[in-house]
Chains A and B, each alone.
Chain A
Amino acid sequence: MERSEEYIKNERKQDWRVALQKKIKAKDRMSIERALMAETAPELRITSQRIEVNIGLTQEQALTEASRCMDCVNPTCMEGCPVSINIPKFIKNIERGEILEAASVLKETSALPAVCGRVCPQELQCEQKCFYVEKLNQPAVAIGYLERFAADFERESGHISTPEMVAANGIKVAVIGSGPSGLSFAGDMAKLGYDVTVFEALHEIGGVLKYGIPEFRLPNAVVDVEIESLRRMGVKFITNYIVGQTASLDDLKADGYKAFYVGSGAGLPRFMNIPGENANGILSSNEYLTRVNLMGADSEESDTPVLRGKNVVVVGGGNTAMDSVRTAKRLGAERAMIVYRRSEEEMPARVEEVHHAKQEGVEFLTLTNPIEYIADENGRVSQMKVQKMELGEPDSSGRRRPVPVEGSEYILDCEVVVVAVGVSPNPLIPNSVEGLEVSKWGTIEVVKDKMQSSIPELFAGGDIVRGGATVILAMGDGRKAAKNMDIYLTEQYLSN
């Protein structure tokens, strides 16, 4: 629920906050070094898909890190958070040792704090706006680490709080897709008193959090606990249900649903359309990661197979590419390679992921682009022809355009190739709703900041509106949509 600036300022004046502000001199706070996150050793972690790389802060580390935060009068960090977490309030609660209280502050605005603390690119969001970075040119307060610490502490304590809820209003709303955007929306609407049902096409709740992001970055058990919290808030989940196929939007309207939030994501993988790309052994990152993360194909007991190879090439430079190549390493690849057409500087993946991949022995073949695949007599890929690239003038995205170097082609051995060059919006929903305005890229058109589509009772957010973006932006859209759908439904049904 939205807190006004005034409210946030007043909270800062509470006695306990004032006492903390006075307890340590600003100069002393600023002389503390940023906490280092402990990690599992690379040699150990590559032996399993299920060993988490980042171990988390100790309580001592967390309390010290929390005391670095200056409790700014004007907390610019909050502007950098797409879901506007009250950052100083939760951090100061950690500093005074009220960690469960810190966790419940996170839940005021975020449905998935244990997830965001792990996968948000904080260096581009809250932490980039931290006083330390903006004014002192020093490392930011480790907001992400602290968020994760508070959420993990609460989960492990077994004392999981439920956020403040408004009395039920009996109005039914449907969420299409159970990824981060849908879950964030569902949490906010439940808090506002709505009767929320989430429809999911797959057999598990969580979207990309389950099928995409690997266990070594985000354990499924962590996601499940956050989903359980939503259940306790009254959110209902229906799996194996494809809105538009299993039943239509009109069927749901007939069942009494008054409004809809589409968070169906950008699940359609892109391929490069180069010769030989349909050979066996060449697959999308979505297929590769789904087999391993959702279906557990890395385990002997799973019925789902996965392709293993001595030489595995992942094409692309985003987080999905890093997740895929690190997965390949854990499935036993001797050479796990990234082939990326630009240089490392332009890679969209988080610096931390690139660093972790390198520690794990991943090879980076940058300024290199595949142009053809060569299959063996059984139709299985055995080699790829790649071409060297050099950087030319900046393109519309502002990144320097890669230009092929004539005559630089060479052959690379590979038995498995994972194509991670991006995704497009899943067309299932846009195709099944008549009158819905869709862009030429297949994304749903919405009124900016309201997230309302051309159909007034249908709101949308996350990748189905943005194309491929981040977990936290998808969650921010869910929050915005909830706020505006509440206004819309209040006008329609509750104002008299």
Chain B
Amino acid sequence: MNKIVEKEYFSEKIVKIVVEAPLIAKSRKPGNFVILRVGEKGERIPLTIAGADVERGTIDLVVQKMGVSSTKVCDLEVGEYITDLVGPLGKPTEIHNLGTILCCGGGVGNAPLLPIVEAYKKAGNKVITILAARNKDLIILEDEMRKHSDELIIMTDDGSYGKKGLITEGMEEVIKREKIDECVTIGPAIMMKFCSLLTKKYEIPTVASLNSIMVDGTGMCGACRVTVGGKTKFTCVDGPEFDAHQIDFEEMMSRLGGYKKEEVDKFDQFQK
């Protein structure tokens, strides 16, 4: 059982929770995730670690209300417990001093991007970060990102904050302006796909962090399998980060909807 010690609403549907997990706080690296479960009937769901405080023995998780399980996590109050929490899982991000890194986050994907931005900066890179969302309310972690980035660009679909337009428009502007050595993208699958198509055109090595459906998160079931470079990989143990130009995004997006009907049914039942 892991206690929630802090909770912050980024928006009505996006919540940051700080959870006691001293061992995970100590051993986690950027790119790692956890699997958690709320309640004895709860489902196991993956969440990327957005930050950690080793001294306090806590990790930060950012959750967006989507279905039954994420709503249950978001509804937990300070002092309440997460029934099960295991990690850190997955391979950590490979951080090197490469030169200039373009970090692209979409929506709630900004949370897992934060520790990666931090680590790239710390390794001596020039970090340009682009945060994108549908509107101003959905832009999260702006101050933290600014702190660790050399430049921060904000893009909103409706122009309610920062520049108006899609993330790829912001990216292309930067790419045309200066040499980018590597690009990292985390966000909705469709966004990562278009980021990847763009950087492929400019031949910029790109890493995407995938948010596949998972059950155990330890390589045991293959629910999270994805085709990378023509080969089947398990996101939980071989990833979650892969060479974006090798990922079969169409298949990945289709697999994300693999339990759509069952999920909707469960959510309807839950709301009653």
List chain A positions with a Cβ less than 8 A from chain B: 201-203, 211, 239-242, 245-248, 267-269, 271, 273, 277-281, 283-284, 286-287, 290-291, 295-296, 299-307, 378-380, 426-428
Contact = CB atoms under 8 A, between A and B. Distances in A.
Contact of A271 (B39, B215, B222, B266): B222
A307 B263 CA distance: 11
A304 B43 contact: yes
Nearest to B86: A240
Given A278-B227, A380-B258, 13 more contacts: A201-B218, A239-B84, A245-B27, A278-B232, A278-B251, A280-B255, A283-B222, A295-B215, A302-B41, A305-B263, A378-B257, A379-B254, A428-B218
A199 B237 CA distance: 19
B262 interface: yes
Contact of A267 (B89, B220, B226, B263): B220
B271 interface: no
B175 interface: no
Interface of B: 23-24, 26-27, 37, 39, 41-44, 68-69, 72, 83-89, 215-216, 218-223, 225-227, 232, 237, 251, 254-255, 257-259, 262-263, 265-266, 269-270
Contact of B223 (A245, A271, A273, A287): A287
A299 B269 CA distance: 13
A203 B84 contact: yes
A412 to B, nearest CB: 21
B69 A303 contact: yes
Contact of A201 (B24, B68, B85, B86): B86
A306 B262 contact: yes
Given A247-B23, A300-B269, A302-B41, A269 B220 contact: yes
Contacts of B265: 305
Contact of B89 (A245, A291, A305, A380): A245
B86 A241 contact: yes
Given A203-B86, A300-B269, A280 B258 contact: yes
A287 B215 contact: yes
A31 B26 CA distance: 68
A273 B232 contact: yes
Contacts of B263: 305
A246 B24 contact: yes
Contacts of B24: 246
A379 B215 CA distance: 20
Given A284-B222, A303-B266, A246 B88 contact: yes
B261 to A, nearest CB: 9
A269 B232 contact: no
A280 B254 CA distance: 7
A426 B219 contact: yes
Nearest to B214: A287
Main DSSP-derived SS at the A contact region: loop
Given A278-B255, A304-B44, A305-B263, A427 B237 contact: yes
Contacts of B89: 242, 245
A267 B216 CA distance: 11
Given A287-B223, A303-B266, A428 B87 contact: no
A268 B219 contact: yes
A305 B232 CA distance: 23
A255 to B, nearest CB: 11
A307 B258 CA distance: 9
A277 B225 CA distance: 10
B221 A303 contact: no
B41 A202 contact: no
A242 B85 CA distance: 11
B252 to A, nearest CB: 9
A303 B254 contact: no
A132 B88 CA distance: 54
Q: Closest 4 A-B residue pairs measured CB to CB?
A: A305-B262, A379-B254, A287-B221, A280-B258
B221 A290 contact: yes
B216 A202 contact: yes
Contacts of B85: 240
B145 to A, nearest CB: 27
28 contacts: A202-B86, A202-B216, A211-B220, A240-B84, A240-B86, A242-B86, A246-B24, A248-B27, A271-B225, A271-B232, A277-B232, A278-B227, A280-B258, A281-B258, A283-B223, A284-B221, A284-B223, A287-B215, A287-B221, A290-B220, A290-B221, A295-B44, A295-B215, A303-B39, A303-B72, A304-B215, A379-B251, A428-B218
B222 A286 contact: yes
A238 to B, nearest CB: 10
Contact of B215 (A278, A279, A290): A290
Contacts of B257: 280, 378-379
Contacts of B251: 278, 379
A440 to B, nearest CB: 18
A206 B221 CA distance: 17
